[in-house]
Amino acid sequence: MQRSAFQLIAIALLAVGLGACGDEGVGDPCIPEKIPCSQAAGCGYEESESYIESSSVQCRSRLCIVHELAQNPKGNRSNPSKSCDKNPNDPNCVRPEDLAQSVYCTCRCDGPKTSVEFCECPDGYSCQPVLNLGGDGIKGSYCVRPKKDPGT
């Protein structure tokens, strides 16, 4: 009787452990460490593009995405490390609601086959093609939030 109870506990702990491995932390907040800069456009992100930081220590998956970050109120490139709440006069600031909608931890859910397994997107996210450039380990689809309708 003691042995079977021990086995049940061991199986339960193993199941909990395996379940925890599947949680990639998709949607957890993150701020990219490197902001793209160019002499012509300055520093920040373009609304029409998505960016993946593949070494983010803030994310369990190590993948922080900036997905179609809305232009800041002044029309300049957006920089998620600058909040409009804290720096209202900064031309590259980002509104907190835009930051929450477009910058978060993600995981790779489809793409070229490599040794890394794909994840399943949690509720509220969909697997969408994001990167078509780069090596096979980074190209592919990622879990992203659907864009909110501007009228909502």
pLDDT mean for each 10 residues of the chain (152 residues): 42 39 83 83 82 93 92 74 82 85 95 90 96 89 83 51
**CA–CA separation, 89 and 49 (whole Å):** 25
Q: For the whole model, what pTM was predicted?
A: 0.76
Domain ranges of the chain: 28-144
Q: Which of 92, 70, 74, 49 is nearest to 149 (CA)?
A: 70
pLDDT score of 51: 92
